[in-house]
Structure 1
Amino acid sequence: MVVGYDIGFNFILPNIEVIENIYDPQNQHNFNSMEFIPKYDLMTKNIPFFGIPILENLNSPNKTLVIGHNFRNISDNELKIDIFSYCLRKRCFVELPKFTFRTLVILNNLTSNAYESLPFEFSRLKKTPFIDLKKKFTSHLNPKYISLYLSKDNYKPFFLKQKIGQIKIKYVDCNCDEPCFVCKNKTLRISKGENNIECIIYNC
């Protein structure tokens, strides 16, 4: 997940392609998916890619709004972008607003240790899955960009909580008055032994 205000990405990273998707809701949804068909076979060729949602209006109702997302594989060269909207003030899922989703595809000029696709680990001492960056990287233990890749669309929504040397999962709790669509249908938690659940980490 990428968070920030600067959308001039060519000044941040060299040799990138920015793919833009517009989400314009025709119906009320607090969870939805967008098609994403890149020109490159990103997963097979191990090309790193990251996404950032950009709100159209930062008005009063949107000040406490967070849009979560992850990528999900559909076929060899087709992905879905799963998205959900969460209000930090009300602490519940809310309707998705109109926004732009930009995917950053890093094409070349990467060293072998610049990025890595890492699975989640499990431990009896930790309640949720995590990634120990110290096992893979000897320096730069605070990655700049992280992309979440899941294999199913019925996982309980979560955010990635990043600390120096480690990335943890933070499941999202919903305090809605009545069980909403997400509460009823998105309940699966990541468990040990599942494949195709990982983070793409850019560490330069």
Structure 2
Amino acid sequence: MSDHRLVRAQGVGRAALRIRRVIGLGVLVASLLGVPALAGPTTPSPAGKSRRGPYLFAGVPWLTPADSLAGQLAAHGYKAIPGGRAKDRRNFEGHLFEGWTTITALLDDRSRLIRWEISIPAPGQTDRDPYVSQRAIYDDAVTELESKYGLKHTTVDQLRFPYTRDDGRGALALADGAATIRSEWFGPGANHLSVALDERVSVVLVYESPQWSATEKERRRKKAKDL
């Protein structure tokens, strides 16, 4: 090989080596920073699915007029509670997870849907800690919601002293405020969904529209003007 060709080959080799070093350094930096390397198509993490929304109960759109709620809920087996009408709400009942359920639709000042409050109360007096059956409903609700909206954004599952997990006193822990069991999803525009066990061992689901917080803020402002 002539000297000219040898020099050119050596130059190409050094350039290729520099390119490989730059690529290797880029991959190393990416791994240290937690940036995925570009190695073919990537699969979104399950957490990414949880950004979907809006969160709707029974598929009823937000801002649905109050007079239309009964018909839409009836299609899902829920019925209005006699005398359950007020200016800012409508009350319904039915069954979720085979348990009797109360459903409250909260309205804005134009009688449009902006929030759901849904409660599945613990069954009547039994020989077992009602926490056991209610916890099963809570877990089933979380599973169903995750299948629809993706992984929950936050979750709290705590029992504090003197209570411990599986000690048979879950209902007492909730009643004493020594237990917190809640999962939440946060969507765009302040759309919010939560499921929890409350102090009465009821499974409580709350759906909040983006308009809910603004409506409550305006109502508080109007009340403050009367002070």
Q: TM-score if structure 1 supplies the norm length?
A: 0.24
Computing the radius of gyration from Cα coordinates, the structure with the larger value is 2
Judging by fraction of residues, say which structure has more strand.
1
Q: TM-score, normalised by structure 2?
A: 0.22
Higher relative contact order (CA 8 A, sep 6+): 1
